[in-house]
Amino acid sequence: EAETVIVGAGCVGCSAAYHLAEQGREDIVVVDQGPLFETGGSTSHAPGLVFQTAENELMSRLAQYTVDLYGELDGFADCGGIEVAYTEERLEYLKRKREYGRSWGIEGGELLSPAEVAERIPQIDSSVIYGGYHVPSDGKAHAVDASAAMAHAAEDRGAAEFYGHTTVTDIETESGEFEAVVTDRGRIEAEEVLVATNIWGPLFGEMVDVDVPLVPCAHQYLVSEPLDELAGASEELEQPILRHQDYSLYFRQHGESYGIGSYDHEPLLVDPEDIRAPEEAEEMPSIREFTEEHFYEPTHPDIDKSAYDAARELVPAFEDCGFERAFNGIFSFTPDGMPILGETEGIDGLWWALAVWVTQSGGVGSVVASWMDEGVPRLGNEKIDVSGAHLERFQPHSGSRAFSYARGGQQYQEVYQLIHPNEQPVEQRGLRRSPFYERQKELGAEFYESGGWEVPQWYEANESLLEKYDVPERSGWLAEGWSPIQGAEHQAVRENVGIYDLSRYTGIEIEGEGALEFVQRLFANDLDSSIGQVRYTPMLDHDGGVLADMAVTRLGENRFVATTGGGASATEHTRWIREHAPEEGVDIDAHVSDQCGLGVWGPKAREVLQPLTDEDLSNDSFGYFRAKEFYLDSIPVLALRVSYVGELGWELYAPTEYGGRLWDLIWEQGEDHGMVALGNGAFLGSLRLEKGYRLWGTDLTPEHDPYEAGIGFAVDTDTEFIGREALLEAKESDLDREIVPLTLDAGEVIDGGKPILDGEDVVGHVKAADYGYSIDAGIAYGYLPPEFAETGVSLEIEFEGERYPATVAEEPLFDPDREKIIR
């Protein structure tokens, strides 16, 4: 018996044990099928390069934490890291990367000339590169040493025991709760289990019938014979670690030898059941024989040069040397490249921490431990938004092997490639189509994928609008995956009317005799309103952090519908609601597939819809933030008079099978009123931003309370709700940070993730940015300390190596008196 069992003593399992022990948890048992601490998993042979800068804030912050922690435990060499640019495009990207680094708090990142790179890494041929990005605090983790140090620290506290050569063969659950792990040396009952078994994760999924969308991939690593160029170098790492991403390669020094890691080959996927147990494996179970063709020949249509050719072009010393060691090591890839963390829906006490690199392992241990212990994920003492790594972000199709292998393989292939955030996946498209899909296709929709849904980003049919509306040009990075048509759609909605597909949005219906009491506890606004009232409300975690913002409609005494987005927001929010529901008296039904939706917004919205219904749509009888169920022609709809774009209009929800007819009816009516199909680009990008509406996961995260997030107006502390106590405290104290809009003084457009500067100091970063086509200014939203969050404060935003003056403005930037909405 134990309080907590951890399966897997790689860097992730050890880090979780260390952090749980630090938090005062006792009675932790860690088991591993292999010997401790070189267990035979990926940690045992990882070269341990830690590059901290990522486009993604979460991954970067986890990496920074890992560097600090492993440094304290003598498990890290801070030799610095350099990423080189083989193309001009990459050099531009490295400038951008440095800006991400500054935004996420990485200090000292600098761009180097080719000669400066060669000063630090003399064996490279600097004539083939354009420069590099250097981070002095990057370096190499000694993953096994760090794992052992964390384990011993937990043991020394008397909090944890570690057992090697102990194989878990089953997980027992009972009535939705974890009971015990069964091992080849006996059964261990416990309150909770954390599965940290990396490439073996899917096998654990099978034990409990949970999909684990992860594919093990074999990855090449070689260590050269000693090089003359490194003669006399000590085993201690001296040179910075090196990445050559244009050929998906990386390098590190092993004393006088030089190591090469390569992703420059077709993905080599491995079925989890084929990964041998330690006693059957010749070497380590996570190691496969080196496949020469994948190193010495180009093996994928996207590859024009073999990895070896690319390596010796950059490091000519490889020309005449042999390799002392070469192997294919296995580690995990997920469909979106992010880890898999969290507790299983429907099985209390069963936790996962999978697909984590050494780079993030220290931080992930902290996050998982605090999440298990207090229900709130934290990195050290700071709250952190882990929604992008939450097990629950996956969609119904994600667990299939067809999907996870195709997308996981693509992630492997692209791990170092220069991928623009607007670039769309190729594999596994067209999975989820709304009933309007064919109509959208006819209108030339440019489809982007979101949670498997095909979502029109803009419509080519609207190109002719460019003759009427001015749209400022964009170039380079900002122009990729963007069309000026987005700007035209924006203006057409403000002038006439647009139709927008809401089908992936999810109405979470909460019904039953306990429904009112439950929604009052769940949401921070007072929902005890009249029937037919819609209320905007945050949903908070126990710390008062914003988990979601939703429109909640009261449809009956004890019947409510909470509307949230599609994809991850739908699955993660529904899960939280289910988890917190009382056992009796409340039914929860998430309408994902059985309901489609259309938004009709713009000054002409009423003229379009009124002829289709007997219901009086006038402002007097159907006011703003009211809801009604009626017939539109013969179609039963739920209509909400709300708008995320800041215009008069309605969201109309109907059973899916009526969708085709619903679109046609509205479209025919719209023709006389200049109706346009509105894509997601203008909807989520510019229209909502100009109006100052928040976007979950972008400018609204659990890291902030509603006051910081500028939605304190939607909190009513007279009711009792989850997170209230924390909010009462927050209300009394001064805000640490506050979200505000900045407008760019010269009207330009910039991008998210960029540092906001006061002189040389980074005071915040851009959470969301776009162009406000109706106010004619570039807009950037960011969280700033109060002294900078005052209207009129002048700051600068760094973007592509330039500084852009920007001024803090008052929100909303567009239609502050709501004259366009309430009419």
Q: By CB under 6 A, name the binding residues for ligand FAD.
A: 7-13, 31-34, 39-43, 45-49, 143, 167-168, 196-200, 219, 221, 261, 286, 329-331, 356-359, 361
**What 3 state SS string does 663-727 have?**
HHHHHHHHHHHCEEECCHHHHHHHHHHHHCCCCECCCECCCCCCCCCCCHHHCCCCCCCCCHHHH
Q: To the nearest whole angstrom, how small is the minimum distance from the Cβ of residue 230 to ligand FAD?
A: 19
CB of 366 to ligand FAD, least distance (A): 15
Dihedral angle at the C-alpha atoms of 602, 603, 609, 615, nearest 10 degrees? 120
Catalytic residue among 246, 543, 549, 705: 549
Question: What's the min distance (Å) between Cβ of 45 and ligand FAD?
Answer: 6
Q: Cβ(54)–Cβ(389) under 8 Å?
A: no
For residues 111 and 79, what is the distance between their CA atoms, to the nearest angstrom?
Answer: 17
**Residue 219 annotated among the catalytic residues of the structure:** yes
Closest CA to 90 of 54, 129, 138, 119: 129
Shortest distance in whole angstroms from residue 130 CB to ligand FAD: 24
Q: What 3-state class would DSSP assign to 551?
A: strand
Cβ-proximal residues to 60 (8 Å cutoff; 6+ apart), any chain: 52, 53, 54, 100, 101, 104, 106
- Closest approach of ligand FAD to the CB of residue 413, in Å: 16
CB nearer ligand FAD, residue 9 or residue 67: 9
Complex with ligand FAD: residue 278 or 538, whichever CB lies closer: 278
Torsion of CA 87, 92, 94, 100, to 10 degrees: -160
Q: Considering the complex, what minimum distance in angstroms separates the CB of residue 167 from ligand FAD? A: 4
Residue 7 or 742 with smaller CB distance to ligand FAD: 7
- Prior bond of 37 cis (ω within 30°): yes
Name, in order, each residue with C-beta under 8 angstroms of 678's C-beta and a sequence gap of 6 or more: 489, 493, 498, 499, 500, 599, 601, 645
Is 265 a residue of the active site?
Answer: no
Nearer to ligand FAD, 13 or 772 (CB): 13
Please tell me whether residue 300 adopts helix, strand or coil conformation: coil
**Going by C-beta distance under 8 Å and a sequence separation of 6 or more, which residues neighbour residue 510?**
518, 519, 559, 560, 561, 562, 577, 581, 586, 587, 588
Q: Toward ligand FAD, which CB reaches closer, 114 or 139? A: 139
Per DSSP, the three-state class of 137 is coil
Of the pair 202, 567, the CB lying nearest ligand FAD is at: 202
Return all residues near 119 (Cβ < 8 A) that are at least 6 apart.
none
Cα distance between residue 787 and residue 808, in whole Å: 11
How crowded is residue 400: how many other Cβ atoms within 10 Å of its Cβ? 13
Which helix (H) or strand (E) segment holds residue 63: the answer is helix 57-72
250 is catalytic: yes
Residue 772 identity (one-letter amino acid): G
Q: Nearest approach, Cβ of 101 to ligand FAD (angstroms)?
A: 17
| Helix, strand, coil in percent for the chain, rounding step 5 | 30, 30, 40
How near is the Cβ of 5 to ligand FAD at its closest, in Å?
Answer: 10
Min separation Cβ 10 and ligand FAD, Å = 2
**Range 60-64, long-range pairs (CB < 8 A, 24+ positions):** 60/100, 60/101, 60/104, 60/106, 61/104, 61/105, 61/363, 61/379, 61/384, 62/359, 62/360, 62/362, 62/363, 62/364, 62/367, 62/379, 63/359, 63/360, 63/363, 64/104, 64/105, 64/106, 64/363
Provide the pairing of β-strand 627-632 with 635-640. antiparallel
DSSP character string of 601-642 = ESTTHHHHHGGG-SS--STTTS-TTBEEEEEETTEEEEEE--
Q: Which is nearer to ligand FAD, 49 or 208 (CB)?
A: 49
Burial class of 643 by CB neighbour count within 10 A (0 to 12, 13 to 18, 19+): buried
Taking the complex as a whole, the smallest distance from the CB of residue 696 to ligand FAD amounts, in Å, to: 29
The smaller minimum CB distance to ligand FAD, of residues 170 and 470, is found at 170
Active-site position among 70, 133, 250, 448? 250
The least CB distance from residue 354 to ligand FAD, in Å, is: 7
Measured at the CA of 673, the angle between CA 667 and CA 675, to 5 degrees, comes to 50
Contact 292, 328 (CB under 8 A): no
The single residue of 142, 219, 244, 294 carrying the catalytic annotation is: 219
CB of residue 244 vs ligand FAD: minimum separation in angstroms? 14
Q: Are 459 and 447 in contact (CB under 8 A)?
A: no
CA contacts within 13 A on the Cβ side of 268: 22
* φ, ψ (nearest 5 deg) of residue 127: -75, -15
In whole angstroms, the minimum distance from the beta carbon of 9 to ligand FAD comes to 5
Q: Which is nearer to ligand FAD, 40 or 681 (CB)?
A: 40
Q: Please say which residue, 206 or 790, places its beta carbon nearer to ligand FAD.
A: 206
Between 261 and 782, name the residue whose CB sits nearer to ligand FAD: 261
Q: Cα-Cα-Cα-Cα dihedral of 321, 326, 332, 333, to 10°?
A: 40
C-beta of 303 vs 415, nearer to ligand FAD: 415
Amino acid at 2: A
Q: 518 by DSSP, 3-state: which?
A: helix
Query: Is residue 756 packed enough to be buried (19+ CB in 10 Å), middle (13-18) or exposed (0-12)?
Result: buried
Closest to ligand FAD by CB, 416 vs 576, is 416
Catalytic positions? 219, 250, 549
